[in-house]
Structure 1
Amino acid sequence: MTSLYFVRHAHSTYTPDELGRPLSEKGFADAKTVTELLMNEGIDAVVSSPYKRAVQTVEGIANYINKEIEIIEGFKERTLTTVPAEDFTLAITKVWEDYDFSWEGGESNHVAQKRGVASTYEILDQYRGRNVVIGTHGNIMVLIMNFFDKKYDFSFWKSLDMPDIYKLTFEGTELIGVTRVWVKP
């Protein structure tokens, strides 16, 4: 069995710099809770999206197990558009209604999902039989989960907390269980 702990990043302070956007004060406080929740899970490795907010959310558990965080591009958030959407709700709803649709310069659900699932398979292969924390983002996390089980859809995404943690247990590459680890403090 391999367990992947997908960690949606904690609250961040908005800046237009997607890559460098840091956690907010609340985000840092919640990241400590993420670390506490994962301390007794026997974590073997920590990987993350390159985005600062995702790295900052999981660096506490990486420090606890005394391991470097491996940066994996495939777990970065899906690109919705090249310019900020005038109406985010409309923009995100449209891509979830049509998995092949993409806004100019953005990724369709299928394109983003393919990227995220490829990275997931690489982790399953590299860390077979181990417990791995993955620092990531809401949309790409749910798209990955949706690939393995269609019940993880747009309405599920809308119900996520920030941060949030889902443990996906695999036998080989077959998903056999999903458990929510996050408990709102």
Structure 2
Amino acid sequence: MVTKLYLTRHAHSVYTPDEWNRPLSKRGLTDAKKVTQILANENIDVVLSSPYKRAVQTVEGVANTIGKGVIHVEDYKERRLSEAAVDDFDAAITKVWEDFTFAWPGGESNIVAQNRGIQAIFETLETYEGKNVVIGTHGNLMVLMMNYFNSSFDFYFWKELDMPDIYALTFAKTELVKTKRIWTV
């Protein structure tokens, strides 16, 4: 019995420092409709999401299509890079990817964020075994979770992700057996 997880990076959002309530931009809302169309043919059973508004907005159309609500899962929220705003985001994010154990003050290291995300993945695989599950999440955490199973999903892979982006991960129990990108712009 296989379980398919559709890791869905949120669509483009309007920047605000409020991580929880940052909404999708006009472009993001249009792309969220495309996410719904793409996933409409995947026989989705359940939709989980980071509680952040932009992630929920990206996948809520899928939940509406299957007649169910979005289930918020705290551990699918984005990694916290730092407690305070960083002066140079590119340098800050590069540093945490170069050293998986490094964390900026008040932030999560890659290993801490990855462990949090993987715990959520394993709980999802156990709870929804044999189902097709959409997971609305964020780029950095998404790649860290994928990296746990295959190190080729790395910093450079993250930099190439679209916003939104969708990867279908097929599991036999907790073993990743196939990864396929299903988002096309």
TM-score normalised by length of structure 1: 0.99
CA distance in 1, matches of 2:138, 2:180: 17
Q: Which residue of 2 aligns with 1:183?
A: 184
Number of equivalent positions = 184
Q: Which residue of 1 aligns with 2:163?
A: 162
Trace 1:1-16 onto structure 2 (pairs within 5 A).
Answer: 1-16=2-17
Report deviation, 1:68.
Answer: 1.0
Is 2:63 the counterpart of 1:62? yes
CA distance in 2, matches of 1:158, 1:69: 28
CA distance in 1, matches of 2:159, 2:17: 22
Report deviation, 1:124.
Answer: 0.2
Q: Which residue of 1 aligns with 2:103?
A: 102
CA distance in 2, matches of 1:68, 1:56: 12
Q: Which runs of 5+ in 2 are unaligned?
A: none
CA distance in 1, matches of 2:70, 2:36: 14
CA distance in 1, matches of 2:53, 2:104: 25
Q: Which residue of 1 aligns with 2:78?
A: 77
Q: Which runs of 5+ in 1 are unaligned?
A: none
Tell me the alpha carbon deviations over residues 73-124 of structure 1, each in whole angstroms, 9 at most, x when there is no partner.
1100000001111000000000000000000000000000000000000000
Tell me the alpha carbon deviations over residues 151-177 of structure 1, each in whole angstroms, 9 at most, x when there is no partner.
100000000000000000000000000
Report deviation, 1:41.
Answer: 0.2
Q: Which residue of 2 aligns with 1:150?
A: 151
Is 2:62 the counterpart of 1:88? no
Report deviation, 1:29.
Answer: 0.1
Residue identity matched to 1:18: E
SS in 2 for 1:18: coil
Q: Which residue of 1 aligns with 2:114?
A: 113
CA distance in 1, matches of 2:85, 2:168: 31
CA distance in 1, matches of 2:96, 2:16: 23
Q: Which residue of 1 aligns with 2:130?
A: 129
CA distance in 2, matches of 1:168, 1:114: 18
CA distance in 2, matches of 1:68, 1:150: 33
Report deviation, 1:126.
Answer: 0.4
Identity %: 61
SS in 1 for 2:4: strand
CA distance in 2, matches of 1:70, 1:63: 12
CA distance in 1, matches of 2:55, 2:91: 25
Residue identity matched to 2:57: Q
Segments of 4+ moved more than 3 angstroms:
none
SS in 2 for 1:47: strand
